[in-house]
Structure 1
Amino acid sequence: MAALATGAALCSLAVPTPAVAESVTAVQITVCNDAGVTQVFWVRGYNQHNDWVGSPIWTVNAGTSATGWDYWWKQNSSVELHHEPGSAAWTWMRAYVPRTDARMTTFRIS
């Protein structure tokens, strides 16, 4: 009887369990340009692997938005959003990446 109970217990360990969807822990960033000139921007912060990294430079035309594709930023943390309006000097702002179920966070620059 004990062997039967042990065998039943071991068999239950081999039963596959349903996969659980992984929650979103990082998002991509979209930047909307409210200025009247084309701007370039890049982001520095913690990525989905918790590494402090910087992105490449992206261009966002006046009155449009651009997404930093293929770069993911940790939620519930801050990033540095660096941008250069036209031929002016580079400037930056700290931006909070909120905890969300969305896969994208949007920031506005001017």
Structure 2
Amino acid sequence: MAGAGAVELVVLHAKPPTSLAVNMGGPGVPGDVVGLVEEDLRKKAEGVVGKARSLCAANSVEAVVDVVDGEPKHVLCDAVEKHRADLLVVGSQGYGAIRRWHCLGA
């Protein structure tokens, strides 16, 4: 943890459970779609934290960078409590896993 007066930067990507993303597609989603969605969520998470690590390193910023599986609202609330955050900044691409998958023509 950061010392007195120091600032700790925590970059967290909340990777939603595959079941949450797949259930948005309605009942009876084929098993191969579940696998594609899981792979999409994993790749997105890797990309997000990879970019965050690169940006921090390029700017000599120390940060805790992590991916946490779970519903974003719960993951973020837990992280705020765990890190005793004074500020929470939330970003979103605006697409869920199913929509991204569909838009890619898969």
TM range (shorter): under 0.3
TM-score, structure 2 normalization? 0.26
Higher strand share: 1
TM-score, structure 1 normalization? 0.25
Higher helix share: 2
Question: Higher relative CO (CA 8 A, sep ≥ 6), structure 1 or 2?
Answer: 2
- Based on CA coordinates, which of the two structures has the bigger radius of gyration? 1
